[in-house]
Structure 1
Amino acid sequence: MDAAVFHGEGDIEVEEVPDPEIRDPTDAVVRVTHTAICGSDLWFYRGQRDYPTPGRVGHEPMGIVEEVGEDVTHVRPGDRVFSPFSISCGECEFCRKGLHTSCENGAGWGGENTGAQGEKIRAPHADGTLVRVPERYADDESVLESLLPLTDVMCTGHHAAVSAGVEAGDTVVVVGDGAVGLCGVLAAKRLGAERIVAMGHHEDRLEIAEEFGATEVVSARGEEAVEEVTELTYGGANHVLECVGAESSMDTAFRVARPGGTVGYVGVPAGVDEAAFLDTAFGKNVGLEGGVAPVRAYVDDLMADVLQGTLDPSPVFTKTVGLDGVPEGYRAMDQRDAVKVMVKV
Structure 2
Amino acid sequence: MRAAIYHGERDIRVEDVERPEIEDPSDALVRITHTCVCGSDLWPYRGQSDRDTPSPIGHEPMGIVKEVGEDVTSVEPGDRVYAPFVVSCGECEFCRRGLHTSCVNGDGWGGDNGGAQGEYVRSPHADGTLVRIPDRHADDEDTLRSVLPLTDVLGTGHHAAVSAGVGEGDTCVVVGDGAVGLCGVLAAKRLGASRVVAVGHHADRLDIAEEFGATETVLGGSEGVDDVVGHVTDLTHGGAEHVLECVGAASAMETAAGVARPGGTVGYVGVPHGMGDGLDLFDFFGDNVAIRGGIAPVRAYADELLADVLQGTLDPSPIFDKTVSLENVAEGYRAMDEREAIKVLVEP
| TM-score of the two chains, using structure 1 as the length reference | 0.99
How many angstroms apart in 1 are the aligned matches of 2:151 and 2:88? 13
Matched residue SS, 2:318: helix
Displacement after TM superposition at 1:220 (Å): 2.0
In the alignment, what sits opposite 1:69?
A: 69
Amino acid at match of 2:140: D
Letter in 1 for 2:333: Y
Distance 1:76-1:124 versus aligned 2 partners, 3 A rule:
same
**1:231 aligned partner:** 234
* 1:109 partnered with 2:122: no
Residue 303 (structure 1) aligned to one of 291, 303, 306: 306
Q: Structure 2 vs 1, CA of residues 258 and 298 (structure 1 numbering), >3 Å: closer, same or farther?
A: same
Partner SS, residue 73 of structure 2? coil
**What CA distance in whole angstroms lies between the structure 2 residues aligned with 1:52 and 1:203?**
36
Match for residue 269 of structure 2? 266
Number of the residue aligned with 1:143: 143
Residues 33-70 of structure 1 deviation map (CA, whole Å, 9 limit, x = unaligned): 00000000000000000001001000000000000011
* Separation of aligned partners in 1, 2:138 and 2:257: 43
Residue 24 of structure 1 deviates from its aligned partner by 0.6
Letter of the aligned partner of 1:234 in structure 2?
Answer: H
SS at match of 2:184: helix
CA distance in 2, matches of 1:74, 1:131: 9
- The answer to whether 1:289 aligns with 2:277 is no
User: 1:323 corresponds to which letter in structure 2?
Assistant: L
Residue 223 of structure 1 and its aligned partner are, at CA, apart by 5.6
Q: Within the alignment, does 1:132 sit opposite 2:143 as a pair?
A: no
Contact 2:242–2:265 (CA under 8 A) maintained in structure 1: yes
Aligned to 2:25: 25
Report the alpha carbon displacement of residue 218 of structure 1 after superposing the two structures with TM: 0.5
**Is the Cα–Cα contact under 8 Å of residues 167 and 191 in structure 2 kept in the other structure?**
yes
Determine the C-alpha separation between the residues in 1 that align with 2:192 and 2:341. 29
SS at match of 1:31: strand
The equivalent of 1:172 in structure 2 is 172
Structure 1 segments of 4+ aligned residues over 6 angstroms from their partners = none
Structure 2 partner of 1:244: 247
Matched, 1:37 2:37: yes
- Residue of structure 1 equivalent to 2:320: 317
Listed as ranges, the matches of 1:83-122 within 5 Å are: 83-122=83-122
Aligned-pair CA distance for 1:277: 2.9
Identity of aligned residues (%): 71
Is 2:13 the partner of 1:13? Answer: yes
Q: 1: distance between equivalents of 2:276 and 2:26?
A: 41
| Alpha-carbon distance in 2 for matches of 1:276, 1:270 | 11
Matched, 1:123 2:126: no
In the alignment, structure 1 residue 54 sits paired with structure 2 residue 54? yes
CA–CA distance in structure 2, aligned partners of residues 5 and 69 of structure 1:
27
Q: Give, in whole Å, the separation in 2 of the partners of 1:274 and 1:131.
A: 39
CA shift for structure 1 position 111? 1.3
Tell me the secondary structure at the aligned position of residue 279 of structure 2. Answer: helix
- Which residue number in structure 1 is paired with residue 256 of structure 2? 253
Q: How many correspondences in the alignment?
A: 345
Q: Does 1:340 align with 2:326?
A: no
- What is the rounded CA distance, in whole Å, between the counterparts of 2:213 and 2:226 in structure 1? 25
Q: Does 1:219 align with 2:219?
A: yes
Tell me, in whole angstroms, the C-alpha distance in 2 between the residues paired with 1:12 and 1:275.
32
Matches within 5 A, 1:326-337: 326-337=329-340
Native 8 Å contact 1:250 1:277 kept in 2 = no
The aligned counterpart of 2:154 is 154
Q: How does 1:202-217 map to 2 (within 5 A)?
A: 202-217=202-217
TM-score (norm: length of structure 2)? 0.98
Letter of the structure 2 residue corresponding to residue 173 of structure 1:
V
User: Which consecutive unaligned segments of at least 5 residues does structure 2 have?
Assistant: none
Aligned mates of 1:275, 1:282 — CA distance in 2: 15
CA distance in structure 2 between the aligned counterparts of 1:110 and 1:203, rounded to whole angstroms: 35
Q: Deviations over 1:118-164 (max 9, x none)?
A: 00000000000000000111101110000000000000000000000
Aligned residue identity for 2:249: A
Shift of 1:275: 4.1
Aligned-partner Cα distance in 2 for 1:318–1:289: 31
Q: Deviations over 1:56-97 (max 9, x none)?
A: 000000000000011111110000000000100000000000
Deviation at 1:204, TM superposition (A): 0.6
Which residue type is aligned with residue 305 of structure 1?
D
Q: Distance in 1 between matches of 2:191 and 2:123?
A: 32
Counterpart AA for 1:176: G
Q: CA deviation at 1:113?
A: 2.1
> Do 2:19 and 2:114's aligned partners in 1 also have CA atoms closer than 8 Å?
no
Q: Please say if residues 3 and 15 of structure 2, whose CA atoms lie closer than 8 Å, have aligned partners that are also in contact.
A: yes
